[in-house]
Each structure stands twice: as C-alpha cells, then as structure tokens.
Amino acid sequence: MVNNKADSPGFYSVPIDGTEEEGFSPVYRHPDHEDIIDSSKFGDVRTSWDLFQVGLKKNPNGDCVGKRKRLPDGKLGEFEFKTYTEFFETVKVAGSSLVHHNFIKEQKTNCPTVSKTCKLVGLFLPSCEEWLILEQACYGYGYTLVPIYNTLGDESILFILSNTELEVVFCTEETGKNLLRILAKGTEKQFLNTLVLVDTTSVPKEFLDSPRGLNFMLWSDFLAKGKNDVLPPTPGEPNSLNIVSYTSGTTGSPKGVMITHKQFVDTIVVTLEAVCKPMGVTSDYFECHLSYLPMAHMFEKDFINAVFYSGGKIGIYSGDVKLILEDLQTLKPVLFVSVPRLYQRIHDKIMTGAQSKSGIIRGLFNHGLQSKMNRIKNQGVYTHKFYDKLIFDKVNKLLGGNLKWLFVGSSCLNPLVIERVRAMMSTPLFWGYALTESCAGGFVQHKDDTNPINLGGPSGGFQFRLRSIPELNYFVNEKPMRGELLIKGTNVSAGYFKMDDLTKETFKDGWLYTGDVVELMENGSIKVIDRIKQVFKLAQGEYVAPEYVESIINSCMYVAQSYVVGNSDESYPVGVLVPDEEALGPWKKANGMTNATLEELAKSPELKKFLFNEVQRVLADANVKGFQRVKAIHLHGELFSVENDMLTVTFKLKRNTIRKKFESVVDELYKSLKSSS
C-alpha cells in the first residue's frame, strides 16, 4: 500500500475521554480540533453574503457566472460570463427590487435558536442565472430562500406553500403553469399573491385568465424598481435563516430544514480552511465549476458558494442531461460534482465501449486500467505515461481534460467503480457523507486516501458518536463498532420549519439522529451500511442492507438500476432490475433483438437468464454473503426517474413508492421460487 497516514488509527477522528454513555459510543472529533471550531477562526465571514464578498475582493474583474450562448443555427456555443463586479451590480438591483416592491411580510419562525422572524421568497426555478442572482440578493437584503421543484409532487408543493405562507414565487413560464395547475387542485388556504416570470417578455393569456386572482410580473418589471433606486445591502444576522430547504425524502411528507447563515458559513469556511487546505486542496481547486446538480439542493449550493468564496467561476449547464459531456468539454472545469448515478453511467459507457473493441485494443485497455488501479492503490500516483498517452488522456477529455478532482455524494457507489473512475480519469475522486440537516457538510475523505470504502472523517466544526440499535443487532461495544450515526456541531440545523414534533424526534440534546447505520473504521473514518428504515430482516434472523446490495448489482455493466427487497417470512431477497439498453447492444445483436426497445428487452426470458447470471457473478466477486444475494429477478422496461416518482430529487430510490408498485411482482417472484424448489 502507498505509505500514507490515512490508514493509521486516529487519522480521521479520535474519541474524547469521559464522553461514554450506556448505549452510546464516546464522542469523536477531528484529531487536530478536539475543541469544536467555527468560521470566526478564519476571518470576519459572518453571513452567507460575506462569502461572495470575499470572492469579489479577490477577483473583481474575473469571470463569475456564465452560460452557453445560443447560436443563430440553434446550437449552443461557448460559455459567456459576467464578471464578479457585473454580477454584483445585478444582485444589488434584484435585492433593492425585493425591498421596493414590499410584497413579502415578516412571519414568525417559532424556533428559539434562530431569528424570531423571517421573510420568505419562493424560487420555483430550474438551475439558471436568475436563481443565483436571487440567492445572493436574498443574502444581501435579509430574505430567506424557499426552493420548490416539480419533482416534489403536487401534494408536497401545496404543503410547502401552506407551511411557509409564501406570498411571492419566482418561476419560469413552464413552472408557473404547473404551479397554477397545482393550486387549482388544492383545498388548503394559500397566501400566494404574486408570480414573477423570469424567462418571458409577456404574461401568457392563460396566466391572466387564471381564477386565482394572482398578480403576475415580468422579470424586467421586477428589476426596474431596483434599477431606479439601488439600495445599500442590509444582510441579516448570523442566526437569520439562509434557507428553508424541503427534503422530499424516500418516505413521507417534505420537511423544511432550517439553515441559518452561521450554519451555512461554518460549513463552507471550516471545510475549506480546516480540511481542504491542510491536504493541499487550495483555492485553485475551485477555479471553475460546472453547476449540473439542481441549485435547490444543499449539496450543490455548498459547492457554488465555495467557488464564490474562492473567487472562481460557475458555468451553468445547458439544462439538457444529454448535453452534459458537451458542456464539460466546452467549459473545461477543474472540479466536477455529481451523484453516484452519473458516475456509474460514465463508467458503464466507457467499459462497454472498451469491451466492444478488437481483442488487442480491449486487452490494452483492461491491462492499462488494472495497472493504473494498482499504481493508485500502491503509490498514490494517478498518471501513467504510457497508458495515459495511449488511452486514458482521451477518456479524461470526455469531462473537459482539465479536472483536478471529482466529488461524489448522496448515496452508495460500488468501490470497484470508484477505483476504475479514478484510474480512467487520472483524477482523485473524493467522496463523503452529509445530509440536508447538516447543511450538506459532514465527513470528507482525504485527498491522499485511496481506500474506496470509507467516507472520511469530520471537519473541525462538528463531532459525532454512534448509538446501539439492539433490534437490528448493531452494538457500539462490539468490533467493528456499528450503530446509528449522531452528529452535533456548528453546521447542524436547528430543526424543521413549523414542525415541532418532528424536530423533537430527530434533534435531541443538540444531536442530529441521522437514521443511518454506520461502521467506525480503525482510522476513525466511517462507512455507511444503510438506513435504519431500509434494513430488512429475513426469516432466519439475518439482516440485509439493500442499498449496499444494489450498489454492487448496479456495477454490472448490463444493469442500469436495481431495487432489492425482502419479506420477513422469506429467507432471501429478490430484485427488480432495469436493463442497460446501450450496454446490451452486442447481446441484442447476438440474440436477434437488434432493434428491441427497453420495454421489449424486459420481456425476454433469455435476457432475464443472462442478467441473473451476470448479477450472481458480480455479487460473488464482491464477496456478498449468500443470504444477501437476490435469488430471483424481475426485469422492468422503464428507467426509475424523478419524473415517474421512483426517485427523489437527489436520485435516491423512493422505496415506499417502488414497493407499492411492485408488490404483486415481488409476491410472484417468491411464488415462482417456491414452485420450482
């Protein structure tokens, strides 16, 4: 192994003496910060507004925010940027307009640990320049963001509008139409009175004909008042609300996570200054970022504001997932942030392409990939003079050719995929652990740690401990230590907006009960096993963590997505698989199904047998225990997506929804197994 300290005990965290309690582990903190630190240690950055001001001072004439220009032929050209100064001037106009229009009343937060009142601004927008303008305008002029997105579902959107008593929502023509449709269905009292349309030059007739009696305003008219009288910024206090971020979750109604400016600032500044800089990840690692994940998500919001703090530039992706590689190749970012699903797709596309080549080329690729994986693992070196020039420089250029690092978050990714992506891209791939409730700040892996299993350790801004879960046979006094992860620190939310009972259930004595089962590694890092509510017990008393098994199944190049489930009266799990249509190209040709659709493929008994055998192979290769391996599968002919309500907006499986949809399918799988035994 490479000779680095990441493998040594206590590298990521150390226990604090005298903190043990019955049923709980000791409290663990960063080894260099046994006293919790906050952003005040690194300068006078008190609110989210100050983050942008740091970048503005560093780089007033540098590129700040850009998007691709639409050419006369309809195609997209290069990115065109506003400078920091130009963007700042627009932000002040937007902030002044919010004040002058005076269409948002103060309301009580009903939370003793945050500011007593807040003024909430609804954003029902895709990722766009106007989103970033309004975000900074809210920071600078004392307003609080409330993001809304289509994929939450109609009932959830109605709940958010009612829960927050939103009066003003900024939207596009498309999201505005959807909002009017949703409002027409609702029976709860709504407070909404104004929609501001950011992407049209006239209010559509169907808006004006709406029976809701709403006011409609164009973006240009909204900005006009601010242009006529630009006011000096009046940012809120550190304990003012930065955002009420509604999480759709995998079950239940949305929860409005309250994040203050101090929590947001501490998350970003402490992570950058106390974690990133000491391991050599300096401001040049934030020079250029393609904003691809929804700006409504705390994970993406953190990275955007970290780039601003560093004086870097944000390129907004074109809005079409099919053009994401083209966007990357045009912008040439130094960092790329995404969720496991996209990295899995990139991995599968490259592996499928390589395996379809001639024997010599395929052999060179496979040998080169394995050589690079060994080189990274044993020496910590990501480049290889011969194989990079021959093969992998071309692969790196798929993502622009200028990457210094990759980051993945949200859910599990097969360790083998992580190792391969690192080798293919000749680039470190970091991953970590966080939740919206922790301001998307949490555990981060060290740059020099090549272990693809652990999620790193805490920043200096928070501490953690584990809680025994006897009903699932996880105990903190056993080795390895396993239990529910609890987090406490300067980045942790005060609770859920106007949801006292749920706040008391999740936040106890300042500790955030995450609901995630983790294992504490010898070096003080953590490894997530699964969600408490997702782990299921089999008839013989064994427990299965489905997300882990799914991550292994998804590493099979012929599988696009999977869902693993088990009944408590059965002794093994079963699975629903979505085939990867593109990767199955050679199989389709060899089996006379060249033009078959995904739906047609899912009905093929031959493909079902082929995929079952391939899945068993990858499960065996990953040493998955026998009782965790699916014993029967069903092929589904449609990708799980946010649009069909099978995925959350962070691309996690909505297990309750999927369970209901496939309840009869699962029953049939078990019946077929019993009848054949």
CATH number at residue 559: 3.30.300.30
* Cα diameter, the chain: 79
Residue 440 lies in a domain: no
- Give phi and psi for 255, each to the nearest 5: -120, 130
d(CA 30, CA 490): 14
Alpha carbons 545 and 226: distance in angstroms, whole number: 54
CA distance 448 to 122: 41
- Dig out the tokens for 487 from the structure: 């987090």
Helix (H) or strand (E) holding 632: none
Same domain for 182 and 116? yes
Residue whose tokens read 């409730």: 437
How distant, in Å, are the alpha carbons of 112, 118, 413, 452 from that of 7?
Answer: 42, 46, 21, 12
Low-confidence ranges of the chain (pLDDT < 70): 1-4, 248-252, 410-411, 677
**Tell me, what's the pLDDT at 57?**
98
Residues 510 and 551 occupy one common structural domain? no
| Sign of the C-alpha dihedral computed for residues 110, 115, 117 and 119 taken in this order | negative
Whether residue 68 contacts residue 78, with contact meaning beta carbons closer than 8 Å, is answered with yes
d(CA 373, CA 354): 16
pLDDT at 1: 35
H or E element that contains 18? none
In the numeric block, the tokens 């164009």 are attached to: 218
pLDDT of residue 410: 64
Contact 640, 646 (CB under 8 A): yes
Residues 158 and 80 in one domain: yes
Kindly state whether residue 571 falls inside one of the protein's structural domains: yes
Single residue among 533, 550, 582 that ends a domain in this structure: 533
Q: Is residue 401 part of a domain?
A: no
Count of structural domains, the chain:
3
Q: Return the half-sphere exposure (C-beta side, CA atoms, 13 A cut-off) of residue 533.
A: 10
C-beta separation of 512 from 493 below 8 A: yes
Q: To 10 degrees, the CA torsion angle through 51, 248, 432, 40?
A: 30
Rounded to whole angstroms, how far apart are CA atoms 241 and 120? 9
Rounded CA gap, 22 and 46, in Å?
38
Measuring CA to CA, which residue among 27, 35, 20 is closest to residue 524? 27
In a domain, 297, yes or no: no
Looking at the fold, whether 254 and 185 belong to one and the same domain comes out as: yes
Q: Domain check: are 125 and 229 in the same one?
A: yes
Give the amino acid at 472.
Answer: L
Q: Tell whether the torsion through CA atoms of 223, 229, 234 and 240 is positive or negative.
A: negative
For residues 174 and 125, state if they share a domain.
yes
Distance CA 296, CA 496 (A): 17
CATH number where 524 lies: 2.30.38.10
Burial class (CB in 10 A: 0-12, 13-18, 19+), 566: buried
Which pLDDT score is estimated for 677? 62
Residue 608, domain member (yes or no) = yes
Has residue 223 been placed in a domain?
yes
Note the helical H segments in 536-593.
546-553, 585-590
Do residue 478 and residue 581 come from a single domain? no
* DSSP per-residue letters across 408-428: E-SS---HHHHHHHHHHHTS-
Residue 197 and residue 89 share a domain: yes
Question: Is the same domain home to 152 and 235?
Answer: yes
In a domain, 191, yes or no: yes
The closest of 484, 479, 434 to 457, measured between CA atoms, is 434
**What's the burial of 83, exposed, middle or buried (CB within 10 Å: 0-12/13-18/19+)?**
middle
How does DSSP assign 264-324, residue by residue? HHHHHHHIIIIIIGGGT--GGGGSEEEE-S-TTSHHHHHHHHHHHHHT-EEEEP-S-GGGH
- 598 phi, psi to nearest 5 deg: -60, -40
Regarding whether 23 and 78 lie in a shared domain, the answer is: no
Does 109 share its domain with 221? yes
Give the pLDDT confidence score for residue 3 in this predicted structure.
37
Which of 259, 294, 320 lies at the terminal end of a domain, its last residue? 259
Specify whether 248 is located in the same domain as 104.
yes
| Structural domain range at position 654 | 536-676
Structural domain includes residue 13: yes
pLDDT at 567: 87
Cα gap 210→191, rounded to integer Å: 16
533, 562, 589 — which closes off a domain? 533
What are the residues facing 408 on neighbouring strands?
A: 338, 431
3-state helix, strand, coil in the chain (%, to 5): 40, 20, 40
Buried b vs exposed e over 142-163: b needs ≥16 C-beta within 10 Å?
A: bbbbbbbbbbbbeebbbbbbeb
pTM comes to: 0.86
Token code pair at residue 412: 């599990």
* 672 vs 664: CA distance, rounded Å: 12
- pLDDT at position 149 is 85
Write the CATH number for 106.
3.40.50.12780
Phi/psi of residue 272, each to 5°?
Answer: -70, -45
Strand partners, 520: 526
